[in-house]
Structure 1
């Protein structure tokens, strides 16, 4: 059977991990996929992308706030320890953040024009735009419920370092020190809503409800 996480595409595989990624990151992506496939919705999402005519790339970021999707080149940027504490106090795994961005990828492939219109339709109820609301109340909500994770009612939350891609357990200060080389994020942040630059547009999962200095 085809492995959905190839580094090239000789046999029709449609989800590709960047060849520049560390081995530990590649293993984390595989671990996240196995976890997400325990959810019927997550399994369908991944299956749909695997069968797509387009290639989705997954790249690593060291920025906890850098989990995002670029619709211009169908690239998901992911931090395998970037968990999310939502406004109601619940927590979401880094794997669910990956699923959120893959949801944007699936929507982009299925109907790019609608996705663009949804992004342009601004909302004032905490979702920022219709594109984020559809993902949060759609695939993210369903997968979260099926995997017993917290759900959101807005596009807000606070990122923190988790012990693994499939855990909501925060890293301790001692663990952070011992794993600094592999796990410490860059001290930069990005806007929480989808942003537009001269190079590419971005879609991201979280928005900090308490902006960092």
Structure 2
């Protein structure tokens, strides 16, 4: 059973999200929150597998809550859900540790797929978000590339190979096949690389690789 936390400042929106998600027998909404502070408390108290957070909430907003939740030990996978397709939100959310970013006009079935996808350890981004990220990386300057390469220089040769594969969107199984190693070894290299880079998830590692022009 996938345990989900839903955070949105509108009660009707939370109720709608709960109703959609619980049409899937494998998903249970274990907590709701009306603002970021409540979301952080609920994540600590209920230990959900996935935290679905609205970006704009009173007090502590969803982006700040995402950073706190994603940095906690045994953190849930964080997905941001918003009506606003804004570059700044996307970049801040991913840097904060979110592994998904969806718009509120996402079809119900796609929302369920997103929760299942991130629960399985993969990223889930709305198509418009992916296009914006591609444009963003196409436009960034040499300064950012040099900074990213400097950060990646702390990795061993094998860790760098694995991290570059993560930046290409490959799963652990696909990386194992490409680099001729076991999946368990890939997981070890990914974990060590993320720790050295100071990132909390594969999306952040992939962003760093793309900033460095290494994909």
Q: TM-score, normalised by structure 1?
A: 0.30
Greater Rg by CA: 2
Q: Which has the higher contact order (CA 8 A, sep 6+)?
A: 1
Query: Which has a greater percent of helix?
Result: 2
TM-score in terms of structure 2 length: 0.29
